């Protein structure tokens, strides 16, 4: 039966697709993927490129990166309608999503819009590998073992705070509660974040991860990374303490 299958890909490395993801792509007549501009290639499509056959039709879905709600809502509706139209015409379609489709993903909005606007449309989701898990694994593979959470610890995955005051408060709460932090959307905020972490003596306990899975990936202890603007595809893991009993 034709369906929409939302598929997590990467992050970065085309080998970081599950068997289910590769099979879903192979079985689809149409491969949809988010783009931020009309002619852009799309990060998810780039990652999945080795798994897309020349005969498969590509369907870029425009998700503009703007603050105003109206154009974004219109784009989510348009994406849901385009996906549902393929299924109604008897074609299976995969929607590619960088990392996992449930974590800060444009595809989540398409999924919500699809459910609301086309409740009869068959829909499956194939989980992906989040950038946080990929960063921890890549660091460990490079000799910087980085368990995300142990024993009674919590793991908080969230966008990087907008201000130093917010970060200070977050660090204090996390230290008190035994929470490991994974800060996404680090980018330009690294320029003020690094000096703040240095002042608190935390740099050596942070893992900096840039473009994980790409040939130019960088995984490093944060004290090795200068305080300058970083690309959008960068994140920071912060562990302020370790459990008492360790190997
Ligand atoms: C919109 S979120 C997408 C998260 C994605 N759905 C996931 O499951 O990881 C984008 C943020 O995730 C992080 N990210 C995604 N891919 C990354 C990569 N390859 N390397 C480093 N960080 C990445 C960055 O912090 C980036 O700003």
Ligand 1 centroid, distance to 99 Cα (angstroms): 7
Domain that holds residue 165: 132-238
* Residue 2, token pair as written in the block: 């034709």
- 64 and 123 in a single domain? The answer is yes
Q: Give the pLDDT of residue 39.
A: 83
Mean pLDDT per 10-residue run, the chain (247 residues)? 96 97 98 92 95 96 94 96 98 98 95 97 97 98 96 97 98 98 97 97 97 97 95 97 92
Q: Give the pLDDT of residue 38.
A: 87
Measured CA to CA, the distance from residue 57 to residue 166 in angstroms comes to 45
Q: Give the pLDDT of residue 19.
A: 98
| Residue 105 CB less than 6 A away from ligand 1 | yes
Ligand 1 centroid, distance to 222 Cα (angstroms): 18
Q: What is the CATH number of the domain that holds 166?
A: 3.30.950.10
Ligand 1 centroid, distance to 131 Cα (angstroms): 5
Alpha helices, DSSP H, located in 89-212: 106-117, 131-141, 164-177, 190-199
pTM: 0.95
Question: CA dist 11 to 48, 98, 122, 192, Å?
Answer: 10, 6, 26, 26
Q: Domain for residue 247, yes or no?
A: no
Q: Domain for residue 73, yes or no?
A: yes
- 98 and 155 in a single domain? The answer is no
Measured CA to CA, the distance from residue 31 to residue 40 in angstroms comes to 15
- 61 and 157 in a single domain? The answer is no
């Amino acid at each position: 039966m034709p369906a929409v299958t939302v598929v997590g890909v990467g992050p970065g490395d085309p080998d970081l697709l599950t068997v289910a993801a590769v099979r879903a792509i192979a079985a689809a007549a149409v491969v949809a993927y988010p783009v931020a501009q009309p002619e852009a290639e799309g990060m998810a499509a780039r990652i999945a490129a080795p798994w897309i056959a020349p005969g498969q039709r590509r369907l870029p879905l425009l998700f503009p990166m703007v603050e105003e709600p109206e154009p974004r809502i219109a784009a989510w509706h348009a994406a849901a309608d385009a996906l549902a139209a393929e299924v109604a015409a008897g074609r299976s379609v995969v929607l590619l999503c960088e990392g996992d489709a449930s974590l800060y993903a444009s595809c989540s909005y398409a999924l919500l819009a699809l459910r609301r606007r086309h409740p009869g449309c068959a829909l499956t989701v194939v989980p992906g590998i989040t950038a946080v898990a990929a960063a921890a694994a890549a660091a460990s593979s490079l000799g910087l073992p980085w368990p995300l959470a142990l024993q009674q610890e919590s793991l908080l995955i969230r966008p990087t705070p907008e201000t130093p005051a917010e970060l200070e408060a977050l660090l204090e709460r996390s230290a008190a509660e035994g929470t490991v932090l994974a800060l996404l959307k680090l980018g330009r905020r690294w320029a003020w974040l690094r000096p703040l972490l240095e002042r608190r003596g935390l740099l050596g306990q942070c893992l900096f991860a840039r473009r994980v899975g790409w040939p130019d990936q960088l995984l490093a202890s944060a004290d090795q990374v200068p305080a300058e603007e970083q690309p959008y595809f960068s994140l920071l893991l912060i562990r302020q303490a370790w459990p008492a009993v360790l190997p």
